[in-house]
Amino acid sequence: MIKNILTNFSARFVVALLNFCMVLLTTHFLGMDSRGEISTIMLSVGIIQLVSDLAGGPSLVYLIPRTSLTKLMFVGMIWSVGTSFITWYVLLLNHVFPVEYGFRICIIGILISFGSLMQNILLGQERVRAYNLLIILQGVVMFGIFTCSIFVFHFTKAHPYIIACYAGYSGTFLVGLYLVIRKHNTVHISDGRSMMYLLFRNGLFTQLASLGLMLVRVINFNLIEADLAKGMTNVGVFSTAFALGEAILLLSTSVSSITLSRVANNEDPDAERQTVLRLGKFSFVLTCLAVLFALLLPVKFYTTLFHDTTGTIKSIFATLCPGILFLSFSSVFSHYFSGSGKHYMNFLSSILCFGFVYFFAERMMLHYGMNGPGYTTSVSYFLLASFIVIAFLVTGRKKGEWKILLPSRADLSFVKNFMNKNSGL
């Protein structure tokens, strides 16, 4: 189990590296204005996928061995098409993405939803190698087509990314469909509850929690574009700084994944509470080191790396750093609640995060300019982290449990023993 998680993380790391290279290609050869457009398109497609995954995403994993695969695929595809169109139309009315790309965003949303459906079916069949293959395939195809679109066909603006999405997501869907059809036998486990009930019950709070965090970015992007001069260029600058923060958070993602697996496969989640507290510290320290290294790099490094003519990426990234640290710490506790089936805790924390940004983002930006969205994001992540950690301590009802969060000599030996045990070494 742990080897599978670490292998999956490695696949995601490779794709994240390719995506980061696409960011560099965008800022150097397409410009920050195009980077801003691509960021809004990525955000829109991500929201479409989240809504589609309410019934066609991770909730499928539980249902694969419990119901007809043909029925699941049929319901999943119908749901994907319907929700993709409705979500796209809502985003279009609210000007979340550039209108000139119109219906193409909807098509991409449908394709990514279909691909996600195939990936989750494979995961539900415990075919982890095939699942990882699709992740890497999508990243490699998108990077290759994106690069060719720029250097061979000389496309401009966001068009290289649009074409890369067509190729990457349709390839994921078609190859995934082939893999699913070729070997579709699964062990059947009886469950008398309605398929639709289980689809929505398992996916609702998880997806809504992710959607709340996604909407935080929507608010920031919209305010930057509407209220600042050269709005789309500034969206590109902010999204680039945000992408750098997401890359650093990959360190805590691996720790959180292990937490999720351990808690989900333990009949007594409370037995893992001390482990969760120590892993939270470990994740925080790892991220601190990465953030410190990034902050020590000179401004010239960022302007050269990202071809940033504004020279503001490092300062914006610095405003996001506290939020990155809070998120790295709290993500372990969020995964604990996911693994123990208390998804509503993550939903409530994301609502708190979204609510702060909704009411204070514009004021912060008017006062601090481009740094405002960064400060707002960091404060919102602090509120999220505070809620989720306090909820963890309160629900445990164990006096003095918080003391484990204090540094101790036992932490280093714990982390060493834990990673050796769970990496299969």
Angle between helix axes 231-248 and 2-25 (nearest 10 degrees) is: 150
Enter the pTM of the model: 0.84
* Residue range 244-265, pLDDT digits in tens: 998 898 877 767 666 655 665 5
154: phi then psi, degrees, rounded to nearest 5: 55, 40
DSSP letter string over 124-177?
A: HTT-HHHHHHHHHHHHHHHHHHHHHHHHTS---TTHHHHHHHHHHHHHHHHHHH
Helix (H, G, I), strand (E, B) or coil at 115: helix
User: Degrees (nearest 5) of the Cα angle 288, 40, 154?
Assistant: 105
pLDDT score, position 417: 67
* Residue range 313-323, pLDDT digits in tens: 999 999 999 99
- Assess contact for 355 and 283: CB atoms under 8 A: no
- Side-chain-facing half-sphere of 41: CA atoms under 13 Å: 28
- Assess contact for 115 and 174: CB atoms under 8 A: no
Q: How far is CA 171 from CA 105, 168, 336, 389, in A?
A: 17, 5, 34, 40
User: How far is 110 from 112, CA to CA, in rounded Å?
Assistant: 6
For the chain (length 425 residues), average pLDDT per consecutive 10?
57 85 94 94 94 70 69 85 94 91 95 91 79 91 97 94 97 94 60 57 74 90 83 91 90 68 59 78 89 94 88 93 94 81 85 94 91 95 94 80 71 65 50
pLDDT score, position 319: 96
User: How far is 334 from 340, CA to CA, in rounded Å?
Assistant: 10
Q: Which amino acid is at 249?
A: L
In 48-73, which positions are buried (b, 16+ CB within 10 angstroms) versus exposed (e)?
A: bbbbbbbbbbbbbbbbbbbbebeebb
Q: Nearest to residue 180, comparing CAs of 76, 83, 257, 265?
A: 76
Helix (H, G, I), strand (E, B) or coil at 319: helix
User: How far is 84 from 50, CA to CA, in rounded Å?
Assistant: 10
Residue 308 makes CB contacts below 8 A (sequence gap 6+) with: 27, 32, 237, 240, 302
- Assess contact for 356 and 380: CB atoms under 8 A: yes
Helix (H, G, I), strand (E, B) or coil at 409: coil
* Residue range 361-377, pLDDT digits in tens: 999 998 998 899 999 99
User: How far is 335 from 259, CA to CA, in rounded Å?
Assistant: 6
Which tokens in the block code for residue 2? 């742990």
Residue 136 makes CB contacts below 8 A (sequence gap 6+) with: 11, 14, 15
Q: Nearest to residue 370, comparing CAs of 211, 225, 246?
A: 225
Which tokens in the block code for residue 145? 């087509």
